[in-house]
Amino acid sequence: MNSKGLKAAVFAASTLLASALMTGGAAQAAPDAPAAGSTVSHAQVESQASLEAYWTPERMKNAKPANSINSQGWADQGRTIMPKGGAEKVVKAPQNKPSLRAASEAPVSHIGKVFFTLGGQNYVCSANSVGSNNQNTVATAGHCTHDLSAGWATKFVFVPGYQNGNSPYGMWSATSLHSTSEWVSRNDISYDGAFAVVAPLNGRTLAATVGASNIGFNMARNLTYKAYGYPAASPFNGESLKSCYGTASRDNLGGTQSQGIPCDMTGGSSGGPWFVGSGSGGTQNSVNSFGYTSQKNVMYGPYFGSSIQQAYTSASNR
């Protein structure tokens, strides 16, 4: 990436915008890091019973945004959870005028929240059930599954249809997490995609219980999307589903491969799905990922190309 010192705000795990420095040139992977374009997977070992006991309503309510993890000194680099104007020169990217604020939505059975633990702290993101060979696959953001400093998430569960503390379809425990080598080895924001495989619940698959979205890769750019998530930072509280709608545009600030849409969702919406078209019944083609401190009300999502597709295939066949 060639960001020329611009600070990007990563929608870290539960917080939409934790600003990140995109330094010039891609960081070199460690000698034992996976090859670029490969998929990295991690098994989850917690039982359904132990996770249900751990994730009490109080713990879910108090789960924090992941920008507080301080990965690679994020706080020291001036990252923020909200897209505020900064000292950098703002290059205006072509975009629709945002319809603010994010619209309120009725619960959608296949969209929900994911809760997990990193470094002994509880965090929350948004996610979506997607069609797969195993019918138990959940799409979210890479930073909702792995952090360079803290490692892989544990105690990872998906709560579809979440609304005001209610879990109408139960809590689904992850058996494995899958992300791109570009994200796991160097947190490359252009590849901020991941998938979780969950165990069947009460003898039924996730897709049979809540439904599953079509998912697309290597599609055209500059499509029109409707994005969903559970923003938690003010003025939202994370207890209900919200959405944004608009035509995607290229990243003219940091030079990433991601695309931006007009949106003012805040922390908690990370990992929420982007659907092609104007509703939740379309093909998922990205997730809520990051934004810039110098560009208000624009949210970026990774381009679903071959690397993220490989992560999906790994999860789908698990």
pLDDT of 3 > 90? The answer is no
Q: What confidence score (pLDDT) does residue 38 get? A: 59
pLDDT of 18: 38
> Which pLDDT score is estimated for 77?
37
Minimum mean pLDDT range among 2-11, 193-202, 211-220, 255-264: 2-11
CATH of domain 7-25+38-88+98-316: 2.40.10.10
Task: Assess whether pLDDT exceeds 60 at residue 108.
Answer: yes
pLDDT tens string 219-231 = 999 999 999 999 9
pLDDT, position 37: 54
pLDDT, position 23: 26
Res 298 pLDDT > 90:
yes
Listed by start position, the domains of the chain span 7-25+38-88+98-316
pLDDT of 22 higher than 50: no
Between the ranges 28-42, 83-97, 233-247, where is the mean pLDDT highest? 233-247
Q: Residue 307's pLDDT is what?
A: 97
Specify the higher pLDDT residue, 4 or 310: 310
Top-confidence residue, 27 or 244: 244
Q: What is the reported pLDDT for 67?
A: 53
43-71: average pLDDT = 84
How do residues 166-189 score in pLDDT, each as one tens digit? 999 999 999 999 999 999 999 899
Query: Does the pLDDT at position 17 exceed 70?
Result: no
Mean pLDDT of 116-126: 93
**Distant-in-sequence, close-in-space partners of 294: CB < 8 Å, separation ≥ 6:** 6, 7, 85, 86, 87, 88, 89, 90, 253
The per-residue pLDDT of the chain, averaged, comes to: 82
Give percent of the chain above pLDDT 90: 66
pLDDT > 70? residue 147: yes
Q: Tell me the mean pLDDT in the region 200-214.
A: 98
